[in-house]
Structure 1
Amino acid sequence: MFRLGLIINPYAGIGGALALKGSDGAEVRSQALAGGARKLAGERTRQALALLAPLKDQIRIFTASAQMGEDLAREMGFATEVVYQAPKQTEARDSEATAKVLLGKDLDLLLFAGGDGTARNICAVVGDRMPVLGIPAGCKIHSGVYSVTPKAAGRVVEMLVRGELVSLGEADVMDIDETAFRQGQVRAKRYGEMRVPTELRYVQAVKMGGRESEELVLADIAAHVIELMEDEVFVMGSGSTVGGIMSELGLENTLLGVDLVRDKQLLGRDMTAEELLKAIEGKPAKLVITLIGGQGHVFGRGNQQLSPTLIRAIGRENILLVATKGKLQALNGRPLIADTGDAELDQQLSGLMPVITGYHDEVLYPLSSPD
């Protein structure tokens, strides 16, 4: 028998339809219910489990009572064992308590339905001690432990039950401050990692665009770069991705220009090539730059303030190239382009470049010079 753990956060996503930007906290849940919001986590779990119906005789579900899993599992005809008695009004602590009991049940997989708050709760107890997979049901699906859709979660479990080869990998558990988010600020934080089946057709990447909002992806990238900001001078290039970092710092940004930052404070705005050279003279410096979407230009398009002399002074190893994975994928395999106006420098810059695509998440991508 395949031993499947199941935890449903009944209130996951309840604030979404009412633009409450989350479901954390009893006050938000009460407001959502008073406004007519429906609990949808159970239905989304049903979509995942429906794909497992032909395999019911091979699966035993271990879960919490009532709406946290028992009701749905029994209704759908699965052999079910209740390991935790949940109160009528469930809280985060009930997800954690259920997860704690499930750790001792020798599960093949823990399936849970919720959002990033639920992922945090599960991670706090489980960590990397058992494989998990999330059914996306919350307002915020920022973590990499979730399938791309509820049905996709069912497909992954189906593959596991059938004994198909599915790799396991580690995925970040991320969440944002809902209070700040309601005020228009995105503050992303990494809370740990868990082991998930890495079937790429069905499991989302934590920093990918598409399902996630661009705002959340940029917040992840910003969190990574800001963590690196020590004593060096940071030359902040143009573009919305770099602008997102400046926004997270609470600094004014020249979207189509180049700014200068040190100790997370603004030293200069919309600076010229000469001003930039003078500002970094004799000081360690880093350059934060992105690419032009659809084209792939890193240097030579809209950022001529980044002169060949300045780039050489900073050094290739101190270039922090930032972009979403979606932006890179949109290039369809075409390389990034360096067109500084200095052919020798373009050749020196060519090769695989690390690209920061999220919080502690980097990929290598080729950069070349035009022929």
Structure 2
Amino acid sequence: MARLGLIINPVAGLGGAMARKGSDEADIGARAAAEGRVSQAPMRAARALSAFRESCDAEVLAGPVLPDTGTVTPVGPDVLQGTAEDTKACVRAMAGQVDLILFAGGDGTARDICAANDTGIPILGIPSGVKMHSGVFARSPERAGRMTAAFLSDTRQRTEMVEILDLDEAARRAGRLSARLYTVARTPLDLAGARQNPKAGNTDPVGEMDAALAAYVAGMREDTLYVLGPGATMKALKDRLGGGSLLGVDVAEGGLVTGTDLDERALMARVAGRRVRIVLTVVGGQGFVLGRGNQQISPAVLRAAGMPPIDVICGAEKLAGLNPQELTIDTGDVALDGTLAGYWPVITGPGRRQVMRVVA
């Protein structure tokens, strides 16, 4: 009988709202606790398991045990602190016992699992980190749960190899946004588009997007606070407004960037009582506009800003490279994601827009 292994990184995603670009720092848990922050990884894992249990009753070996997720069998360490060694210990404890490892974390967690997965157990990620450039992650917790159930219920248990990527720190320090290939991993075969693609490089033609950004800046209102997301396209926009961060969320008003690399709480303070617009770009190859690398723009920030208009700027070539041809949002708030889903116009050039379907 098929069995599932479940691993949850208890500090995964904490760095997002804190504007830390990841959750790899040794003291991230303590810093988050001091600020009263709680990881969303257990909650996202519970969402995945709920979807899993709708059609599969396979035994789940988990370390540590999650509350309110049905019957699970403890395995590995009793308590996880979120270190790489904790994750690796869980993987080793599951060797030879499970048919699939479902994990809640980000790219760093995926790398740690691969480093200890000597027996080649297929793995699948519940997206719970900050960046998640790798192709091993489902597009949402619910998709992860349903995909897991389908895999364990299939006697063939078909798999494919995907890239495990993470942010290239050397490139980041040089002012470039780049994902580095670390390894490949075996994951359930995806025939329904449930899993995200690996992040692709920036394909926007420079001249065309320069003209689009210039036109956007020319149309910015003096009475509006602009919340500017991360990414290479957004960095080019910020440079036209005096300069800003590559991977951070900044704000601009009066034609200038007036706040850089702000965390969730700083953003909430800045947007309160203001006329606000959110400006984002698309993660290349993946199609995400919210929920990947910009968790500072949280549901709380969006509501504090009065659910402001969202402008998406992205070249037509990058949009054409998306498969499926749609944009994705994953804020962590299911109800809010459902409200935001629909059809959004995307600025693709000076005076040009392309309507894209947006799904949760």
Q: Which bin holds the TM-score, normalised by the shorter protein?
A: 0.5 to 0.7
Matched residue of 1:16: which SS? helix
Change (3 A) 1:128 1:147: farther
Q: Deviations over 1:212-271 (max 9, x none)?
A: xxxxx326x89xxxxxxxxxxxxx996669xxxxx9xxxxxxxxxxxxxxxxxxxxxxxx
Q: Which residue pairs with 2:299 in the alignment?
A: none
Q: Which residue pairs with 1:122 in the alignment?
A: 113
User: Among residues 199, 208, 218, which one is paired with 2:201 in the alignment?
Assistant: 218
Cα displacement (A) at 1:13: 0.2
Cα displacement (A) at 1:180: 6.7
Counting only pairs closer than 5 Å after superposition, residues 67-82 of structure 1 correspond to structure 2 as 70-72=65-67, 75-78=68-71, 80-82=72-74
Q: Which residue pairs with 1:61 in the alignment?
A: 60
Matched residue of 1:159: which SS? helix
Change (3 A) 1:330 1:158: closer
- Corresponding letter in the other structure for 1:136: P
Cα displacement (A) at 1:127: 6.1
User: Among residues 303, 322, 328, which one is paired with 2:321 in the alignment?
Assistant: 328
Identity fraction in percent = 35
Change (3 A) 1:93 1:218: same
Q: Which residue pairs with 2:83 in the alignment?
A: 91
Matched residue of 1:26: which SS? coil
Q: Deviations over 1:149-207 (max 9, x none)?
A: 00000110121233387641100000014697588542421110111113242011113
- Whole-angstrom CA distance in 2 between matches of 1:33 and 1:181: 27
Q: Which residue pairs with 1:108 in the alignment?
A: 99
Q: Which residue pairs with 2:46 in the alignment?
A: 46
Q: Which residue pairs with 2:4 in the alignment?
A: 4
Could you tell me which runs of 5 or more consecutive residues in structure 1 were left unpaired when the two chains were aligned.
208-216, 223-235, 242-246, 248-322, 333-371
Q: Which has the higher helix share?
A: 1
2:196 paired with 1:204: yes
Cα displacement (A) at 1:53: 2.6
Q: Which residue pairs with 2:149 in the alignment?
A: 158
**Which one has a bigger Cα radius of gyration?**
1
Q: Which residue pairs with 1:132 in the alignment?
A: 123
Kept in 1: contact 2:11–2:81 (CA 8 A): no
Give aligned pairs, total.
221
| TM-score (norm: length of structure 2) | 0.54
Kept in 1: contact 2:15–2:22 (CA 8 A): yes
- Corresponding letter in the other structure for 1:139: V
Counting only pairs closer than 5 Å after superposition, residues 221-232 of structure 1 correspond to structure 2 as none
- Corresponding letter in the other structure for 2:321: L
Matched residue of 1:218: which SS? coil
Change (3 A) 1:195 1:88: closer
Structure number with greater CO (CA < 8 Å, separation at least 6) is: 2
Could you tell me which runs of 5 or more consecutive residues in structure 2 were left unpaired when the two chains were aligned.
211-231, 233-315, 326-360
| TM-score (norm: length of structure 1) | 0.52
Matched residue of 2:16: which SS? coil
- Corresponding letter in the other structure for 2:201: L
CA RMSD of aligned residues (A): 3.4
Kept in 2: contact 1:134–1:153 (CA 8 A): yes
Deviates more, 1:136-145 or 1:11-20: 11-20
Cα displacement (A) at 1:51: 1.4
- Whole-angstrom CA distance in 1 between matches of 2:170 and 2:61: 34
Matched residue of 1:205: which SS? coil
- Whole-angstrom CA distance in 1 between matches of 2:151 and 2:323: 32
- Whole-angstrom CA distance in 2 between matches of 1:112 and 1:134: 5
Matched residue of 2:133: which SS? coil
Matched residue of 2:146: which SS? helix
Change (3 A) 1:118 1:330: closer
- Corresponding letter in the other structure for 2:159: L
Kept in 2: contact 1:145–1:171 (CA 8 A): yes
Q: Which residue pairs with 2:135 in the alignment?
A: 144
Cα displacement (A) at 1:142: 0.4
Q: Deviations over 1:265-288 (max 9, x none)?
A: xxxxxxxxxxxxxxxxxxxxxxxx
Cα displacement (A) at 1:330: 9.0
Counting only pairs closer than 5 Å after superposition, residues 208-287 of structure 1 correspond to structure 2 as 217-218=200-201
